[in-house]
Structure 1
Amino acid sequence: MFFLEAYAVPGQAAFAGMAAVLGLLVGSFLNVVIHRLPIMMLRDSANFVALERGEALPHTGRYDLWLPHSACPHCQTPLPAHHKVPLLSWLLLGGRCAQCKAPIGWRYPAVEVLTAALFALVAWRFGAGLTGLAVMSCTALLVALAFIDAETMLLPDDLTLPLLWLGLLVNINHRIAPLHDAVLGAMAGYGVLWLIFWIFKLITGKDGLGYGDFKLMAALGAWLGWQALPLVLLLASAMGAVLGLTMLLAGRHQRGQAIPFGPSLAIAGLLALLLGTHWLSLGIYDY
């Protein structure tokens, strides 16, 4: 027994290390998603409006996650392959474009390192099976959603809806939560924030949340089950309040200005996934 336990730990650590390398690669792709997906949405919206008005489409060139090829946003110099190595290229270039020496944003290495660390934690927590791979996919989507919402106040359906359906699919075999609890979680997650939205709007006349927040909460419910939602919402609300107060005191936020709620929801959801019901202290599941 001692031999098996001693052997399992190095094997688990090795898998976590491989997962971290995978996380660096996925994080590099997530940077593309974070930058391009909001632009793609705005281009599609502008083209739709022009089409409805019978006007010429303002955007006709191809722009998606694959083309055009990555280039410096300042000088538009295409990036060679050896300048696209996750984290290492940023370090070797000193955080600057090799051509024009303009600074490369901190978000690029931060997303890569964060995704690598989270993938390693998921691998350590869930192992090398289908559940671990599924939770890594969930983690990648949550990282992308958090950064997109923080930068643009958008939570794209192209990410929230696959996250929701994947959660229900994973829980068909009770990998994280029983399927019936996952279905109720998806319904309750959307419904609770929808109700809060309308109560706040009736009282203040303002929009306190966005519909993307409803869908993200529904997706978390699909992954975690309905029992986890109260504490997830409580934790996300507390983090949102602390973030807003910090930004206000730092002079980076005006009173009454909207604060993205998606990052707080994503962090709370990730904590619930990684720490499980021992953190939730509900004793309903044991995953």
Structure 2
Amino acid sequence: MNQLVFVFQQSPLVFSGFLLVLGLLVGSFLNVVIHRLPIMIERQYRQECAELDRPDDFVEPMPPRPRYNLVLPRSGCPHCGHMITELENIPLFSWLALRGKCSECRAPISVRYPLVELITGLMTAVVGWHFGFGMTAAGGVVLTWALIALFFIDADTFLLPDSITLPLVWLGLLFNLDGHFVPLTSAVLGAVVGYLMLWSVNHVYRLVRGHDGMGYGDFKLLAALGAWFGWQSIPAIVLFASVAGVIIGGYTLWARYRGFGREFPFGPYLAVAGWLTLLWGNRVQDFIFGLS
């Protein structure tokens, strides 16, 4: 183990290569999280609503339902139900070997599955190369995985799950107990400023338009990013989110004009901004505060 740590410390290329493979494996799991977590939240919500609708004197227990979580049931083809084997679950390579089709019924497998795996692998390797071996890289890798999951979940469902955003707040504060990214005081203020900033914008929007302009998950995600990178990072995050909004929003408008686009939530912009801030936020902060 000590020899492996020594190799990682002395060779950033080896460390990044290791993280590339690890990221591919985690990307396969993130595909499960992206697909199943919104379904789990919806099922829990419906169950709670059903329990509230029952009269007080109704004590008959609800019928048991098959277990459905991030582990069970095993992943399978949505068309024929074929259970995916271990060899068919090798990240990226199995999709290429199967030529993007189920081995049983030959139904097409979405290209997004290997894309998520590839993106996770590459982004994880970039974080390792940028920070080098150490706790800062470990924190950046965990944050990267969470932001990838949030990006795709929100893009699909307009939902930023509390089960991801809230732990990110506490993890950011924990990593900054020793100042891995910013001093703890800055991290605490960052969480407060991040939440209140979007809450205030949404409150004004609701007063003017009569309805919310964004979801509360957006407030929590910006609070989490503030906890990781401090209150000084908020302008850089907003700048990165604006640039991402112009790029993704421009594509969305073009796609809607062509008849196959749809509205895009704000969470993915924040997720992109958070990752860019992880790598280059300090340079942008220096530029912004240098102008003031």
The one-letter code matched in structure 2 to 1:125 is H
**Match for residue 175 of structure 1 among 180, 201, 206:** 180
Partner of 1:202: 207
How far apart, in 1, do the equivalents of 2:63 and 2:152 lie?
27
Deviation readout 1:33-57 (Å, 9 max, x if unpaired): 0000000000001111111112874
Partner of 2:45: 45
Contact 2:9–2:133 (Cα < 8 Å) also in 1: no
| TM-score, normalised relative to structure 1 | 0.90
Does 2:108 correspond to 1:118? Answer: no
Contact 1:47–1:58 (Cα < 8 Å) also in 2: no
Matches within 5 A, 1:145-164: 145-164=150-169
Runs of 4+ in structure 1 off by over 6 angstroms are 7-10
Shift, 1:8, TM fit: 9.2
Contact 1:153–1:260 (Cα < 8 Å) also in 2: yes
Partner of 1:103: 108
**Match for residue 77 of structure 2 among 72, 80, 89:** 72
Partner of 1:4: none
More displaced stretch, 228-237 vs 22-31 = 228-237
**Match for residue 98 of structure 2 among 93, 97, 102:** 93
How far apart, in 2, do the equivalents of 1:230 and 1:119 lie?
25
The one-letter code matched in structure 1 to 2:254 is L
Deviation readout 1:88-110 (Å, 9 max, x if unpaired): 00010111111111111121111
The one-letter code matched in structure 1 to 2:135 is L
Deviation readout 1:179-229 (Å, 9 max, x if unpaired): 100000000000000000011111122321100000000000000100110
Shift, 1:267, TM fit: 0.6
Shift, 1:283, TM fit: 8.6
- Secondary structure of residue in 1 paired with 2:256: coil
Matches within 5 A, 1:217-256: 217-251=222-256
Partner of 1:213: 218
Q: Structure 1: where are the runs of 5+ without partners?
A: 1-6
- Secondary structure of residue in 1 paired with 2:80: coil
Partner of 2:4: none
- Secondary structure of residue in 2 paired with 1:128: coil
Alignment length, in residue pairs?
276
Contact 1:156–1:212 (Cα < 8 Å) also in 2: yes
How far apart, in 1, do the equivalents of 2:115 and 2:8 lie?
31
Distance 1:283 1:132, change over 3 A: farther
How far apart, in 2, do the equivalents of 1:58 and 1:195 lie?
44
Deviation readout 1:53-107 (Å, 9 max, x if unpaired): 1287487221000000110111111111110000000010111111111111121
The sequence identity of aligned pairs, in percent, is 49
How far apart, in 2, do the equivalents of 1:44 and 1:59 lie?
13
Question: What RMSD over aligned residues (CA atoms) do the two structures have, in Å?
Answer: 2.2
How far apart, in 1, do the equivalents of 2:176 and 2:10 lie?
29
More displaced stretch, 227-236 vs 48-57 = 48-57
Contact 1:186–1:219 (Cα < 8 Å) also in 2: yes
How far apart, in 2, do the equivalents of 1:169 and 1:253 lie?
46
| TM-score, normalised relative to structure 2 | 0.89
Contact 2:95–2:101 (Cα < 8 Å) also in 1: yes
How far apart, in 2, do the equivalents of 1:88 and 1:272 lie?
31
Distance 1:8 1:167, change over 3 A: closer
Q: Structure 2: where are the runs of 5+ without partners?
A: 1-6
More displaced stretch, 116-125 vs 240-249 = 240-249
